[in-house]
Structure 1
Amino acid sequence: MKENYKNIKVSVVIPVFNRQKFLGEAVESVLAQDLTEIEIIIVNDGSTDQSAVVAKEYQAKDRRVIYMEQENQGVSVARNKGMAMAKGEYLYFLDSDDILGQGFLSSSYAMATEKKFDLLVCGAYFLDRFPQVMALQTCALFMKKSFLDLHPDVQFLKGIQPGEDGVFSHELLALTDKIGINLNTTYFYREHEGQNTSQIKKQTDKVLQVIPIWLKELEEFYERYNLWDKKALHLARFIEHEPFEFRYMAMPFQQEQKQHLFQTIRDFMDSKVLPRLTDRDRNVLSAAFIGFLQARSAEEFDAWYQARKLKNRAKVKALYLVSKLLPSRKWKKSFRAKMKKKYD
């Protein structure tokens, strides 16, 4: 296709590093969208394979494909450069080894423009968190470009992985109430081989290094936009979701590492967030996170949490037996799901 659109509806930014095997499928999934007034910005982050060759082939075939390259500086820098170049009304980031389902862009654009949303959350997976969404993967965020331009300081933090997308999305979500959700989108993730033991160890070490940087950035952001009182709960739920649930609770830290992370989170919450929360705000937080904030050490919290899990399993088992008395299979299923969520 050789058409040159004057009005670009959506800019799709694809950062790429050594993904020659998958980049073509990612680009094809965008070119195959029924929304055609688009541009695709491929930012090559110093790939050493044939990713540049693949990208340039698409650039030669379709004017909507724009290619640029940089020395290897990481995905955050690549995304920021693509964001700065984008000329579309809306912006979307696609990972170079993933695929968009048909109608993704058209349905998102139609909903965002009709409702005048600054941000659109893409995917039914996030429905249970909506509208109190505190952070998102980059692929779940469809963004109005003029809204981004109003806040040029909100960018991906350089060299901060994991979590650079969580901090970026959290800040954008804190800056607007014009947020919608599009349940009619399909995004295909490509599974990769699992990490070995040495890689997991490096990941836990890295997390301990980057979380203080996340917190410093968030502190400065909340100061800059004077959001402490207005959005304290939003920040508390981010700390609960990202450093606590996704890191402390889910990763295989050694006890010394857990205590270090425990103290990092507690110090930030105690000094910056908890004094600004109302009693009503605190009731929104999970029982596990409240227990974490009340514990004196990681060891004390872990012991309390394990005891709580055993107690709750007994409750769930008892309630499961009670649910057998319900007359409808649908009621039974709903009741069991609610009890599992409450006590799991």
Structure 2
Amino acid sequence: MNPTISVIIPIYNRGKYVAEAIDSIIHQTYQDFELILVNDGSTDNSAQICREYVEKDAKITYLEQENAGVSVARNAGRAIAKGKYLYFFDSDDKLDKEFLRTSIHLAQKGDADLVVCGQYYENRFPNPMALPTCATFVKKAFLDRYPEIVFPAGIQPCEDGLFSHQILALTDKLALNRDAHYFYRQHDEQNTANNWKFTEKILTQIPKWFQVLETFYNNQQLWDKKALHIARFMEHEPFESRYKQMPFDTQQKQLLHSLIKGFMEKHVMAHLKPADKDQLSQVFLGFLEAKDAKAYDEWYADFVRSNKWKLKGMYLLSKLLPSRASKRSFRQKIQRKYGA
């Protein structure tokens, strides 16, 4: 009999951490799962650790491949998965012991195609534009209907955001598991996209992101129906998470501004309704209206100065609201409108 859940772990040189990751799956309170370990050409002792676990637990399957990247490893695990739901888990993190139980309960209760895992992602619910793998608990039958939705090879970071964005564009059968607790490990070996060393890499990756999106939206004929969805993705991923947060120099900023604005003008802006634009921040709309990066940065500095006291007053007002939920909702509206 096939398991209800398939947990897939791609592994590349994580010998220091992978045993803890595997243990956090093995000791889940919900036990109707299989665990698929995909060794992506590790050169450390990761393979030895994985084989030791396979010998001890029949629920564990082990694959090896030449180093091809995390996307290829995840796709390889998905190809042999037998579970009704799939969860892609990183090899240096840990799960709370109730993670699988609470997630499958909500998935089955609401016949959800996707369970959004973790209270942190409540801010994006009920209309998330993209999710990391740690928040993505997805029905296999749904993915089987859309075999073209895969983790894109040769893309990292944002391979998980592109994967989840496509799923979210095609279904509204979502559930939110606020009780899914994920323990993210931070260490020096991680390839953080917010580090100044990766600015050049990001600039070579973003055109690849856009190519994946263009192919998907063309094939599914979604430009008109999902214009706001793709606009929110563009606002969050290449603009907020990259342009605003990464230390690009003047020339790099200009290139990134040109890439984002060009994609939006070519594919998205004509499909956005006035009500859709109201859902985007003034900061992002200002970015799209600016002729270049220099003009935007000057506009943004003026925008911050002119709205400084208004924003401060709004945040003070939010403190007077009666509940934490209402405070959070009000502040999210401020962030949504002003990008601050």
Which TM bucket (shorter chain)? over 0.9
Letter in 1 for 2:327: S
| 1:269 corresponds to | 264
Alignment of structure 1 residues 171-186 onto 2, 5 Å: 171-186=166-181
1:291 partnered with 2:291: no
The 8 Å contact of residues 323 and 336 in structure 1, kept in 2 or not, is answered as no
Among residues 59, 63, 69, which one is paired with 1:68 in the alignment? Answer: 63
1:107 partnered with 2:102: yes
- 1:214-263, CA deviations, whole angstroms, 9 ceiling, x for partnerless residues? 11111110111111111111001100110110011110000000000000
Among residues 276, 282, 299, which one is paired with 1:281 in the alignment? Answer: 276
Alignment of structure 1 residues 1-344 onto 2, 5 Å: 6-193=1-188, 200-318=195-313, 334=327, 338=331, 341=335, 344=340
Alpha-carbon distance, 1:320 to partner: 6.4
Q: Distance in 2 between matches of 1:60 and 1:44?
A: 16
- 1:147-177, CA deviations, whole angstroms, 9 ceiling, x for partnerless residues? 1111111111111111111111101111111
Q: Which has the larger radius of gyration?
A: 1
Letter in 1 for 2:59: R
The 8 Å contact of residues 320 and 336 in structure 1, kept in 2 or not, is answered as no
- TM-score (structure 2 length as normaliser): 0.93
Q: Distance in 2 between matches of 1:17 and 1:25?
A: 15
Q: Identity rate of aligned residues, in percent?
A: 50
Q: Secondary structure at the match of 1:315?
A: helix
- TM-score (structure 1 length as normaliser): 0.92
Q: Which runs of 5+ in 2 are unaligned?
A: none
- Rate the CA distance shift 1:337–1:323 in 2: closer, same or farther, 3 A: closer
Letter in 2 for 1:46: G
The 8 Å contact of residues 34 and 106 in structure 1, kept in 2 or not, is answered as yes
Q: Distance in 2 between matches of 1:225 and 1:42?
A: 32
Q: Secondary structure at the match of 1:256?
A: helix
Q: Distance in 2 between matches of 1:335 and 1:67?
A: 43
Q: Which runs of 5+ in 1 are unaligned?
A: 1-5
Alpha-carbon distance, 1:115 to partner: 0.6
Q: Distance in 1 between matches of 2:125 and 2:329?
A: 22
Q: Distance in 2 between matches of 1:255 and 1:309?
A: 20
Q: Secondary structure at the match of 1:284?
A: coil
Alpha-carbon distance, 1:312 to partner: 2.4
Letter in 1 for 2:164: S
